[in-house]
Amino acid sequence: MIRRVLGSSRIDPIVLACALGLSMLGVLFIGSATIGTKFEGLAGRQATFIAIGLVAMTAAILFDYRMLLKFSFPIYCACLLPLVYLLVFGQSIANVRSWIRFGKFQFQPAELAKIATALLLAYMFENEDDTGLRPATLVRLGAIVGVPVLLVFLQPDMGLALTFLPLVFVGLFFGGLPAKGWIAIFLAVAVLAGGGWFVLKDYQKARIGTFLNPDSDVLGSGYQVRQSKIAVGSGGFSGKGFRSGTQSQLRFLPVQHTDFILAVIAEEWGFLGVILVLGLFATLILRALKLAQTARDRGGMFLVLGLTAMMFFSVVVNASMMIGVMPTTGIPLPLVSYGGSSVATTLLGIGLILGVQYRRFANA
Amino acid sequence: MLRTREDRRALVRRIEISRVAVGAILSMLAVAYWITQIVRGEYFFNLSENNRIRAVKITAPRGYVLDRNGTTLVENEPAYTLHLYRRESKNLDESVRFIVALLDLNADVVKSRVDRGRRGPEYVPIPIAENLSIEEVSAVEARAAEHPEFAITVSQRRQYINGGSAAHALGYLSEATPEQIKASNNAYGVGDWIGQKGVEGAYERLLAGVNGERRVIVDSHGREVNEANRLEASPGQNLFLTLDSKLQQIAEDYFKERVGAVVALDAKTGEILALVSSPTYDPNWFTRRVTSAEWNELLENPDKPLQNRAIQNMYSPGSVFKVFIAYGALSMGLVDPDMKIFCPGHAEFYGRDFHCHKKGGHGLVNLRDAIKESCDVYFYNLGKKLGIDRIAEIASSFGFGKPTGVDLAFEKIGLVPSEDWALKRRKARWYPSETISVSIGQGPLLVTPMQVARGLAGLVEGGRLPTPHLFYASQAPGTNAPLRYTAESSSTMPITPEQLKIVLNGMWAVVNEAGGTAYGSRVPGFEMGGKTGTAQVIGKGVTVKAGVDKSKLLDNAWFAGFGPVADPQMVVVVFVENGGHGNLAAAPLAKLLFEARFVTPKTPTTGVQAMVTGEPAPAAGLRTVSTARLSAMAASPSRRLAAAERDAQLSAATRGGP
């Protein structure tokens, strides 16, 4: 059956190749970043998670996404339950309650909640016929995304909470928020942020900063960004060579196999390596958006858009924080950074995108 | 489920817009990386190089200090410090409990040190205890497997072998002050040892050598991964002092219970054979981290042990000054040595009565006898004839009121009064009656014992004023012959041999003729000359406040001696604060010193003396001793290296684990 699926060319090979390429790059550089440390062996674990992710991906392709959309609300509720459970009973790991343990394994339920939220969002817009966005839809959109964001935010994992926000944007933009609406949102954000900045005192700002991200100053976030910039910049055009990055091999980089994996690639493979990674993501995302255009229904379109937007957001934020353009927020690079839940669910998401494309013809 | 074509077209259009936006944003990111990696790539590359290569100082072994015969006075000994490496500790409280019990340390002190260290970065080891004994070191090493968080580092500590002996000549080491760091152009850093005072301070550069540097590759914990290259330290030179330990020892024994100073000089070269300032202090205190109680004791001691009385305290010279007056008056042709003056025991000058120290008077005395018996009335008259400005000229020509040029810091220059000085400094005319006081070494005139010794050397040598110095020779590690040092000398007033003989004869009579003021201290079988002095601490007639320690009001005792009279080799100045009479308190030590140097059988010249004078060095000479010591010094850095290797192995072992 797999041969039929691939052989008949109904599965988009470009998205699949990009996803597999990025995953393999990840395994390669997790190996480079962890060799000789207590994290050695994580590359193998990552490969295992990729395998699990590929199984999930295949299942997602073969399973009719329209069924998932139909049951998206129960799925959504089922995925939010562990988040509630975590807040009540969760054990803190590094001051954050975002992991559920299954014996040897840990799982981050928020990653799955992202997929569930995207599904529910798609189901909601499946049933929206208007070209414009109705106020009731707006409220529901806020609720659908708001609940998991709040739950994750309370863990507290601000980075992960932020990765839900692209779904709001998808709803607003593709749902057809009129120009007046955008102006209103822009003004509201400007007034809130700007006003808050002037009203709050310095120590209050600092306090809010610490509250939002208590881990940011363990090593000093300034130190992290500085070391990461040095790693990226010192890579130059073609890099210092695989496993030869001084910044990474001498552990100047913080959590280099997870959030800062791109800095390792940038140091060891230089600008060429960065272009390779960004190029693969660009191809993947642009291709996925193209596929969204060919989806057979609005639900499929919004599902692809939601999943792609979340990935795009993570890529941009993560790549920007390597070079100090954005603050460090603990958002990993999709597919590449070490993290079982993240890589497996991202592959599951790509499976859903491919599934939408697989069933693009009404007679399928 | 049915939707209009309009709707789909709008959505498709929005997706098209979003694809352009995605492309634009990712392109901007690529540009940002281009700027970071290509445009600013070199800048960040240099930063990354500095990040991983760290310079670690190799402290150069400090040169030893030895006396003129090659007897070691100052050496280095290994000092063991216990450090706690936090990253190796599983439980800090447990670690503290373990070490407190093992070494019987003060738990509160250890805890406060750990708490203080905790504020720093994790990779910086916390010092727990200094100066561990060998037994303590082996106790810690034996438990290294269970407690890898504790490690011993070896460093070199300055060891002043004889404690407080010659402390003022040797000086001491202390951590560089912020001013010294600034003055050194940051060649010294916080926590670096630097020589203070004495020869440790004066010859700091010679003794310190040049520190080396290891450039090591470190990880972000500062943990050493590899050594990139190393520049060996070049050890400091060994320093031979002009001091003669035998004489020094005799002088120090004499001053155990006394306060004062001794200077013994080679009359011809100015080499300082003995230099004592009493009370003394133990320079080892400073390298063992002085407790504040010890510091306060040192600072609040009314006798100020840190002061070098030989160069830093100024006193009235008393009658010792008379020989310089005699010499000057002869040189100027203003005295007929045969002319006799009648001393009735007192005389009146400018309406004031001045006493001679001998109540009944000396009767008729000439210049020679006036020196021998220290007749005040004779010198009152001579001083009156000279006037204060000529006296000042004489004093200056013997180096009073000027630095002696001794190779020690913080030398005081004393005070030579003159009419000009009175107008400028006192804003008042000079009283002629003061001249009478100055002519017997009282009044505003102030000198240091070192100045007296140098002046006396100039006098007995007929006008050749040497520069006193402690630097005898230096020896670079690995070389055989030490480099000899000679100091320059300057000239005093010219004098004919006949005139000089009169003064020297008077000083000979002081010791060797019945009736001489130091006849009691004559040296059997040896001709010592000299002059006693008994200087008033306060002017006569001053009412003494109640409660003042009476012993502090006793006269200061001086003796300035030389010998042998026929060919002066050595001058000795003994000064005893509140010692009373010079003949009783000071002269006996001079006798002991001349006896030791010239009368008791001379030990054959060995070691450095033989080497610097060009005689063939004996087989077991200084050379073998010092090279052995040098190799011992050179061995210590590698010991430290071994500790570092152990550390690296330890961290490798930690890495190998799950």
Q: Measure B192 CA to nearest chain A CA, in Å.
A: 29
Q: Measure A137 CA to nearest chain B CA, in Å.
A: 16
**CB distance B6–A131 less than 8 Å?**
yes
A129 interaction partners in chain B (CB closer than 8 Å): 3-4, 7
- Closest Cβ opposite residue A250 in set B12, B218, B655: B218
**A57 in reach of chain B (CB within 8 A):** no
Q: Which residue of B has its CA nearest to A247?
A: B48
Tell me the β-bridge partners of B81: B153
* Position B606 pLDDT exceeds 60: no
Distance in angstroms (rounded) separating the CA atoms of residues B342 and B345: 9
**CB distance B37–A285 less than 8 Å?**
no
- Selected for mutation to probe chain A from B11, B52, B221, B226 (highest A CB count within 10 Å) is B11
| Sequence-distant (≥ 6) Cβ neighbours of residue A111 within 8 angstroms | A160, A341, A342, A344, A345
Q: Which of B222, B260, B233 is nearest to B535 (CA)?
A: B260
Residue A136: the pLDDT is: 86
Query: How do B65-66 and B238-241 pair as beta strands?
Result: parallel
**A293 in reach of chain B (CB within 8 A):** yes
Distance in angstroms (rounded) separating the CA atoms of residues B554 and B567: 35
Could you report the per-residue pLDDT of B391-408, keeping only the tens digit for each?
999 999 999 999 999 999
* Position B594 pLDDT exceeds 70: yes
| Sequence-distant (≥ 6) Cβ neighbours of residue A176 within 8 angstroms | A130, A131, A132, A133, B10, B14
Tokens read off for B359: 């109540």
**CB distance B29–A131 less than 8 Å?**
no
**A298 in reach of chain B (CB within 8 A):** yes
Q: Which of B599, B581, B574, B453 is nearest to B523 (CA)?
A: B599
**CB distance B41–A247 less than 8 Å?**
no
**CB distance A316–B26 less than 8 Å?**
yes
Res. B655 pLDDT band, cuts 50 70 90: very low
**A312 in reach of chain B (CB within 8 A):** yes
DSSP string, A213-257: -TTTTSS-HHHHHHHHHHHHHHTTTT-S-TT--HHHHTT-STTTT
Q: What is the ipTM of this complex?
A: 0.91
**A271 in reach of chain B (CB within 8 A):** yes
What's the longest Cα–Cα distance across chain A? 64
Q: Which of A303-307, B102-106, B295-299 has the highest mean pLDDT?
A: A303-307
**pLDDT average, residue stretch A168-178:** 89
Q: Measure B187 CA to nearest chain A CA, in Å.
A: 29
**CB distance B34–A278 less than 8 Å?**
no
| Sequence-distant (≥ 6) Cβ neighbours of residue B608 within 8 angstroms | B66, B68, B69, B70, B240, B472, B473, B475, B482, B622
B194 three-state secondary structure: strand
Residue B547, class by beta-carbon neighbours within 10 Å (0-12 exposed, 13-18 middle, 19+ buried)?
exposed
Residue B6: the pLDDT is: 58
Could you report the per-residue pLDDT of B454-494, keeping only the tens digit for each?
999 999 998 889 999 999 988 887 776 666 666 777 888 88
Specify whether the CB–CB gap between B97 and B269 falls below 8 A: no
A274 interaction partners in chain B (CB closer than 8 Å): 30, 33, 37
CB crowding B76-114: b at 16 or more within 10 Å, else e = bebbbbbbbbbebbeebeebbebbbeebebeeeebeebb
Could you report the per-residue pLDDT of B57-96, keeping only the tens digit for each?
788 889 999 999 989 999 998 888 888 888 778 888 888 9
Catalytic residue of the set B319, B374, B418, B474: B319
* Position A167 pLDDT exceeds 70: yes
- Closest Cβ opposite residue A270 in set B16, B25, B37: B37
Q: Measure A268 CA to nearest chain B CA, in Å.
A: 12
Percent of chain B with pLDDT over 90: 48
Distance in angstroms (rounded) separating the CA atoms of residues A135 and A270: 48
B277 is a catalytic site residue: no
**CB distance A236–B32 less than 8 Å?**
no
> What is the phi-psi region of residue A197: left when phi exceeds 0, alpha when psi lies from -120 to 50, beta otherwise?
alpha
* Position B174 pLDDT exceeds 90: no
Q: Measure B45 CA to nearest chain A CA, in Å.
A: 4
Res. B548 pLDDT band, cuts 50 70 90: low
Specify whether the CB–CB gap between B586 and B348 falls below 8 A: no
Specify whether the CB–CB gap between A252 and A227 falls below 8 A: yes
**pLDDT average, residue stretch B198-224:** 82
- In chain A, residues 189-208 whose CB comes closer than 8 Å to chain B: none
Query: How do B224-231 and B53-58 pair as beta strands?
Result: unpaired
Q: Measure A40 CA to nearest chain B CA, in Å.
A: 8
**CB distance A251–B51 less than 8 Å?**
no
Res. B1 pLDDT band, cuts 50 70 90: very low
* Position B313 pLDDT exceeds 90: yes
Q: What is the length of chain B?
A: 658
Residue B121: the pLDDT is: 61
Res. A73 pLDDT band, cuts 50 70 90: very high
- Selected for mutation to probe chain A from B1, B3, B5, B15 (highest A CB count within 10 Å) is B15
Distance in angstroms (rounded) separating the CA atoms of residues B95 and A120: 55
Q: How many angstroms separate the Cα of B572 from the Cα of each of A113, B51, B79?
A: 97, 61, 39
Specify whether the CB–CB gap between B461 and B268 falls below 8 A: yes
* Range in A48-62, A193-207, A244-258, B221-235 with the lowest mean pLDDT: A193-207
**pLDDT average, residue stretch B552-574:** 92
- In chain A, residues 210-239 whose CB comes closer than 8 Å to chain B: 227, 229-237
Specify whether the CB–CB gap between A267 and A247 falls below 8 A: yes
Distance in angstroms (rounded) separating the CA atoms of residues A313 and A310: 5
- Selected for mutation to probe chain A from B18, B31, B223 (highest A CB count within 10 Å) is B18
Tokens read off for B87: 């990253």
Crossing angle of helices B322-332 and B388-397, rounded to 10°: 100
Residue B505: the pLDDT is: 94
Tokens read off for B30: 């690529």
Q: Which of B254, B314, B203 is nearest to B572 (CA)?
A: B254
Could you report the per-residue pLDDT of A258-288, keeping only the tens digit for each?
889 999 999 999 999 999 999 999 999 999 9
* Position B648 pLDDT exceeds 50: no
Percent of chain A with pLDDT over 70: 84
Query: How do B65-66 and B529-535 pair as beta strands?
Result: unpaired
- Selected for mutation to probe chain B from A18, A173, A219, A234 (highest B CB count within 10 Å) is A234
Residue B652: the pLDDT is: 36
Percent of chain A with pLDDT over 90: 50
A333 interaction partners in chain B (CB closer than 8 Å): none
Rounded to the nearest integer, the mean pLDDT of chain B is: 83
Indicate the Cα dihedral angle B435, B440, B444, B450, nearest 10°.
140
Residue B501: the pLDDT is: 93
Specify whether the CB–CB gap between B220 and A33 falls below 8 A: no
Distance in angstroms (rounded) separating the CA atoms of residues A300 and B567: 119
Specify whether the CB–CB gap between B561 and B635 falls below 8 A: no
- Closest Cβ opposite residue B15 in set A289, A298, A312: A289
* Gyration radius from chain A CA atoms: 21
Q: How many angstroms separate the Cα of B275 from the Cα of each of B278, B484, B612?
A: 10, 20, 22
**pLDDT average, residue stretch A78-102:** 78
* Range in A108-112, B158-162, B288-292, B351-355 with the lowest mean pLDDT: B288-292
